[in-house]
Amino acid sequence: MATLVLDNGANSAKIGYSQEKVRVIPNCQFRSKTSRLKTFTANQLDEIKDPSGLFYILPFQKGYLVNWDVQRKVWDHLFGKEMFKVEFVDTSIIITEPYFNFSSIQESMNEILFEEYQFQSALRINAGSLAAHHYFHTKPSELCCLVVDSGFSFTHIVPYCRSKKLKEGIRRINVGGKLLTNHLKEIISYRQLHVMDETHVINQVKEDVCYVSQQFYKDMEIALSKGEDNSIVRDYVLPDFSSIKKGFCKPREEMVLSGKYKTGEQILRLANERFAVPEMLFHPSDIGIQEMGLPEAIVHSVQSLPEGPPPRDNYHDFFGGGGVITEGPTTRRTFGLFSRTSNHSEKQEDSSC
């Protein structure tokens, strides 16, 4: 019996048979401004000649599956003749769901998978649990791990011990890939060019040029420099969907640091935006979200766990999820954790004196 694995994310779906190649497609429908009467589903996005100003129809809202009509159409496309040609009478499915999913959503999903599609068996599981299972399987000597799952709407910190999820240690930050993309749209619209309707294009810009700074204030000083001293600034060529189908970052040696380009390309010049946007994951309060940043949430998660074996400092953490398609989050998280655990230890020492 074949096993189909579907990571049913709020923005993209990862799907494939076990031990085979995985495909990543949009988990939504689209309407374009040039073909308003036609609705495109999942990877039919490639058929749109001009994807500027796309209108998204999402099955998920605030991280939870609520629009079953859209989700059915996406699944019909995935399971049908155009993609995986699933033989339901001989197929089981492993499908991901959000942490602390509502029972009503779980019941609806079971009903659709068994009664409408007639899968032989189904396993609903969190994406972090699959990542933890893989970690313990490849490293059998490890007892514990901490999964940082940064998705479209949320970022979750989830501790696992002996393959068991410890619910009392789960923490959620209301910052995900959607918020980062929207914030980048606002910054670019205020500083350079109105792009509030260009979610598809700016999401690609975010994934191509943004990174997590290891030394935020030092990079900020460099971003203020002029000419060749500014090693951070990048020029991003926007697509026109005729001669340029996809945007790209100009090579450093081709950048015009003073004056204007003679070509007719539409250019975005990005400096501190490259690292200031991902910084929201570490300091949500910078944009008015009064919540813990990622390092504080990790410390808070580990400290909430019961004392005793295995020790709290025995947790190894790793990143997952579609919201961390940027460079550097793991190293930056290590610096942040070191500073916060050091400050916590100093405070404990001071109080004991």
- DSSP assignment of 167-227 equals GGG-EEES--HHHHHHHHHHHHHHHT---TT-HHHHHHHHHHH-B--SSHHHHHHHHT--G
The pLDDT value recorded for residue 255 is: 86
- The H or E element that residue 68 is part of is helix 68-79
The separation between CA 95 and the C-alpha centre of its own chain, rounded to angstroms, equals 18
| Stretch 240-253: mean pLDDT | 87
Q: What is the mean pLDDT of the chain?
A: 86
Contacts of residue 316, Cβ cutoff 8 Å, sequence gap at least 6 = 135, 142, 144, 145, 146
Say yes or no to pLDDT of 256 above 90.
no
The pLDDT value recorded for residue 232 is: 92
pLDDT, one tens digit per residue, over 268-301 is: 999 999 999 999 999 999 899 999 999 999 999 9
Segments of the chain assigned E as strands: 2-8, 12-17, 23-26, 29-31, 40-41, 55-57, 60-61, 64-65, 91-96, 121-125, 144-150, 155-161, 164-165, 171-173, 234-237, 248-249, 267-270, 316-320
State which amino acid sits at residue 289.
Answer: I
The pLDDT value recorded for residue 307 is: 74
Say yes or no to pLDDT of 344 above 50.
no
Residue 301 CB-density burial (10 A; 0-12 exposed, 13-18 middle, 19+ buried): buried
| Stretch 205-218: mean pLDDT | 92
> Where does the pLDDT of residue 315 fall: very low under 50, low under 70, confident under 90, or very high at 90 and above?
low
Q: Decide: 74 and 111 in contact? Cβ < 8 Å.
A: no
State which amino acid sits at residue 134.
Answer: H
pLDDT, one tens digit per residue, over 145-167 is: 999 999 999 999 999 988 899 99
Give the other-Cβ count within 10 Å of 4's Cβ. Answer: 21
Question: Which residue is associated with the tokens 């000419």?
Answer: 227
3 state SS of 140: coil
> Where does the pLDDT of residue 257 fall: very low under 50, low under 70, confident under 90, or very high at 90 and above?
confident
Rounded Cα gap, residues 203 and 221, in angstroms: 26
Say yes or no to pLDDT of 131 above 80.
yes
The separation between CA 221 and the C-alpha centre of its own chain, rounded to angstroms, equals 28
Rounded Cα gap, residues 77 and 112, in angstroms: 15
pLDDT, one tens digit per residue, over 9-56 is: 999 999 999 888 899 999 999 988 877 778 999 888 888 888 888 889
Say yes or no to pLDDT of 262 above 80.
no
State which amino acid sits at residue 97.
Answer: E
Rounded Cα gap, residues 280 and 147, in angstroms: 19
The pLDDT value recorded for residue 72 is: 96
Rounded Cα gap, residues 249 and 226, in angstroms: 19
Percentage with pLDDT > 90 across the chain? 61
Could you give all domains of the chain from N- to C-terminal order, each with its CATH number?
Answer: 135-176+281-328 (3.30.420.40), 182-276 (3.90.640.10)
pLDDT, one tens digit per residue, over 67-115 is: 999 999 999 999 998 889 999 999 999 999 999 999 999 999 999 999 9
- The H or E element that residue 130 is part of is helix 127-138
Q: Decide: 317 and 145 in contact? Cβ < 8 Å.
A: yes
Lowest mean pLDDT across 90-99, 167-176, 189-198, 318-327: 318-327
- Which neighbouring-strand residues pair with 320? 149
> Where does the pLDDT of residue 341 fall: very low under 50, low under 70, confident under 90, or very high at 90 and above?
very low
